[in-house]
Each structure stands twice: as C-alpha cells, then as structure tokens.
A and B are shown apart, each in its own frame.
Chain A
Amino acid sequence: KTSFNCIFNVSFSLRFKPFRRRPLPAQRKYMRSPLTPEMATQEVQLNETLAHLKTESETLKSKLEEERAKLHDVELHQVAEKVEGLGQFVMKTRRTLKGHGNKVLCMDWCKDKRRIVSSSQDGKVIVWDAFTTNKEHAVTMPCTWVMACAYAPSGCAVACGGLDNKCSVYPLSLDKNENLAAKKKSVAMHTNYLSACSFTNSDMQILTSSGDGTCALWDVESGQLLQSFHGHAADVLCLDLAPSETGNTFVSGGCDKKANVWDMRSGQCIQSFETHESDINSVRYYPSGDAFASGSDDATCRLYDLRADREVAIYSKESIIFGVSSVDFSLSGRLLFGGYNDYTINVWDVLKGTRVSILFGHENRVSTLRVSPDGTAFCTGSWDHTLRIWA
C-alpha cells in the first residue's frame, strides 16, 4: 500500500481527514502449494501453537476486563458530589492572531507564557508575541500541511513537520533579518506524515508520532533514533508527555481508537485503553500525572485514570455531534477545554462531568487548543486561518 492511498478520499463527511489510513488488514490466506511431509507436520504444529496462543490471549483479555470491573466501585462524579459547583464563566476572545494564509493546524506556547508558535496548511510556521499580536519569526516549510509544531523548553528553537514525514528543528535567532531556514536541522524521519511532536524536558530530545503507526524518540543534535514505540494498528495522531515529576512516560492516541501509555526508556506499552468509538485526535495528561483526557471523532472527551486502569468519565451531550480535535486542562485540572469541529469550544467540569460553558468565535473548525503555561489564558487555532487567545 502506498502511503498516499487515502489522500484524496474526500468524502465531505463530518470527518474530513485526507491522510488518515484505515487499520491494517488481517492476514490474507494464500493459495496452498503442494506440501512435503515435513511441511505438513510443521504446519500442524504451527496451527496448534496459534490456537493455544489465541485461547491464551482471549483468557487474558477477559481477565483484564474482570480486574478492571472489580475496581469500578463508584463513579467520579459521585465522589465529587460534595465539591462546590463552579460559577458562571465569562471567557472572551482577548486577542486574534491573523497572518496565516490557510488553515491553522497546530500551536504551542513558549515557557515564557507570551510567545506562541503556530503552523498551517500553507507550509508557514509563525512565532507570535501573544501580548502584542506581533509576528516575531516566520519560516516557510518545503511542504504543505505542517501538522505539528512545538516550542523548545529554552524558548530558543521550534520544531515542526507534516507531509514531509520529518520533524525539523529551527533555532530562533535574535536577529529578525536572519534566514531561519538556513539553520534548519532535520531530526526525525518517519515513513508517513508527522502528526505530532514534543520536546522532552530539554532541547536535546524530541518525541514524535506519525501516520506510519509509530512514535519515536530522537536525539536532536545527532538525529539518532533513541527509541521507537510500536503497538498502534493505524496512524498515531497525538501524544503528550507526562508531567516531569511523574516519570518517563507518555500517552499516544490513534486511528485504531486506542490510547496507549508508554515507558520511554524501554519502549514498552504499559497500559492501553480502547473505549472510544472513533479516531482519538488529542490526548492530554491531567496536571497530577495520574490521569489523562482524550478527544475523539466520536464527539466525546473521556478521562482515564491510570492507577485504576480504566475510563472514569465521559464528557458528552446529545447535542454535540461533531468530533473533538483538541483538549487541554486548566492549571488545577478542574476544567477541560475541548476544541470541536463545529467551530465551538466546550468547557467541561472535569469532576462533575457537566458542561460549564460553550464559546463561540471561530468561523471554522477549531483544530488545536493549548492552555498557557501559567494558566492565565488558552489559545485556539482554527481552519478559519486565525488563532485566538481566550481569558
């Protein structure tokens, strides 16, 4: 299968995702060639082994379900009954960042709480000062659909990538006239589009996820692959690193409807959750690191508790039928913000499971959403070519 198999699968349905591929097909049965006696016994043995393994996997799966069900002694919103409700929220657009010539696909905050990097379908990556709305840097990538971008922890570089299947790092120069593209460093190489990227605790390592079904950890300086993560059965669309205090793990979500938690050192998948009914577009850790939220094309956001090893809340309404593209928590974890394909932002009370507010403003899908590092505001990017800062 070529990687562009579904690129023009323009169905104009609710889920317009040109580059997403279907899950890998099951093994095909091949025509039998004449068997020698040795091959015949070999085949019988293999079939027996296969049958045993399949029974064992079924037993393990039901055991897992049983174990998880045993711990389901109460619902999150029941535990949160005594918590006082949240008041009325008045959040408005405080800044509109205009300058992209096409759909904004991704954005990230700088640790200085004022700068933002954003990337777009037209291949442009722009660094903004969110206070003044001024553009500080602009780079034109050699490809369109720059689906991922990230700010380095030091604030001195940005990483981005998309249809070029790579993740490149651009050091930011203080000299506004300098050509950033000249200092570009290619770090990651995947065999399909780059869907998300994130620096780890330092500027030295980058974690990427790709349409090729894998995630990978790279050394920025040498471009060396440090660890790869296999386990998703289809495109991986998003990832998030655990808060640094909780250790070396990250969570990823994909078109196979699974959210996987990985050990960064061993490459092992340590937990897996499959309750969504469609692609998982966004995953984000709860600030304490003990849980994570996900947003999906099935129009729901869900909260998964890592220590109970199960889903503990669903954030949905019958009136919400469009997919969630992006989620993020407020600083305390009490609020969950979701950017939706129906152009709105829904704000959820994480503990009680109710919707607190719905925000209007964008004129097309909200494609990306991040709360600022100090929690004073959040930024959204949209297919309407703009970014908005809300507070």
Chain B
Amino acid sequence: MSSVKANSNSVVQTQKLVDQLRVEAGMERIKISLTAADLVHYCQEHRRSDPLITGIAASSNPFKDKKTCVLL
C-alpha cells in the first residue's frame, strides 16, 4: 500500500472526526444550575410514587413477606 493511499485514509478519518466535532460544537447547552434544578425537581415530584424510597406496606409489595396469621 503506497503512502498516498495511507494518507488519504487518514484524511477521510480525520474529516469524519472534524464533521462529528462540528455537529457536537453546534449544540445548544444550558447551565448546570438550571439543568440540575430540573433533576432535583423531578426527584422531588416523583418521590412519593417511588416504592423503594417511601417503602410500601408489606401487604401490597408482592416480594415482601406477609405477616403470619395467628389463628385464635
């Protein structure tokens, strides 16, 4: 393989890299103070419906053992 062909492959690869970087550079970005606030807000909003955080009663969680019955 001649060095010309090797170089033209490098050119193609680097061109692809440059195109990709251009796409990424053109992206609209938002400050972390705003986006982080949204993440926190989402957690807080859905906190009550998260069984692993609020814990649900053993009777409604199919995986938790039900309390044993006592026969009187």
Among A71, A268, A271, A377, the residue within 8 A (CB) of B31 is A71
Among B30, B33, B35, B43, the residue within 8 A (CB) of A332 is B43
Nearest-neighbor residue (CB-CB) of B1 within chain A: A30
Question: Do B35 and A305 touch (CB < 8 A)?
Answer: yes
Does residue A135 face the partner (Cβ distance < 8 Å to B)?
no
Least Cβ–Cβ distance between B10 and chain A, in angstroms: 6
Instruction: Give B1-20 as 1s and 0s: 1 = Cβ < 8 Å from A's Cβ atoms.
Output: 11110111111011101101
Does residue A86 face the partner (Cβ distance < 8 Å to B)?
yes
Question: Do B25 and A64 touch (CB < 8 A)?
Answer: yes
**Within residues 38 to 60 of chain A, which ones have a CB less than 8 A from any CB in chain B?**
39, 42-43, 46-47, 49-50, 53-54, 56-57, 60
Least Cβ–Cβ distance between A70 and chain B, in angstroms: 8
Given A83-B44, A94-B64, A231-B20, the answer on whether A73 and B14 have CB atoms closer than 8 Å is: no
Question: Do B20 and A375 touch (CB < 8 A)?
Answer: no
Among A63, A75, A269, A331, the residue within 8 A (CB) of B25 is A63
Question: Do A331 and B51 touch (CB < 8 A)?
Answer: yes
**At the interface, is chain B mostly helix, strand, loop or mixed?**
helix
Q: How large is the interface on A (under 10, 10 to 19, 20 to 34, 35 or more residues)?
A: 35 or more
| CB-defined contacts of A331 to chain B, threshold 8 Å | 46, 49-52
Question: Do B50 and A308 touch (CB < 8 A)?
Answer: no
A389 to B4, CA, bound (A): 59
Among B22, B29, B53, the residue within 8 A (CB) of A330 is B53
Does residue B69 face the partner (Cβ distance < 8 Å to A)?
no
**Within residues 328 to 343 of chain A, which ones have a CB less than 8 A from any CB in chain B?**
330-335
Question: Do A333 and B1 touch (CB < 8 A)?
Answer: no
Does residue A1 face the partner (Cβ distance < 8 Å to B)?
no
| CB-defined contacts of A95 to chain B, threshold 8 Å | 63
A239 to B12, CA, bound (A): 28
Question: Do A56 and B18 touch (CB < 8 A)?
Answer: yes
Question: Do B11 and A49 touch (CB < 8 A)?
Answer: yes
Question: Do A67 and B29 touch (CB < 8 A)?
Answer: yes
Least Cβ–Cβ distance between B59 and chain A, in angstroms: 12
Question: Do A389 and B40 touch (CB < 8 A)?
Answer: no
Question: Do A30 and B46 touch (CB < 8 A)?
Answer: no
Does residue A72 face the partner (Cβ distance < 8 Å to B)?
yes
Among B6, B42, B52, B61, the residue within 8 A (CB) of A29 is B6
- Residues on B facing A (Cβ under 8 Å): 1-4, 6-11, 13-15, 17-18, 20-25, 27, 29-33, 35-40, 42-47, 49-53, 56, 61-65
Extra pairs beyond A29-B3, A71-B30 (8, CB < 8 Å): A47-B7, A63-B25, A94-B64, A290-B39, A310-B32, A331-B49, A332-B47, A376-B52
A-B contact pairs, 19 of them (CB 8 A): A46-B8, A60-B22, A61-B21, A67-B25, A71-B29, A73-B32, A79-B32, A79-B36, A94-B64, A94-B65, A114-B62, A131-B62, A131-B63, A270-B24, A288-B38, A307-B29, A330-B53, A389-B63, A391-B61
- Residues on A facing B (Cβ under 8 Å): 27-30, 32-33, 39, 42-43, 46-47, 49-50, 53-54, 56-57, 60-61, 63-64, 67-68, 71-76, 79-80, 83, 86, 91, 94-95, 114, 130-131, 231, 268-272, 286-288, 290-291, 305, 307-310, 312, 330-335, 350-351, 371, 374-378, 389, 391
Q: Which 4 A-B pairs have the closest CB atoms?
A: A332-B46, A332-B50, A60-B21, A79-B36
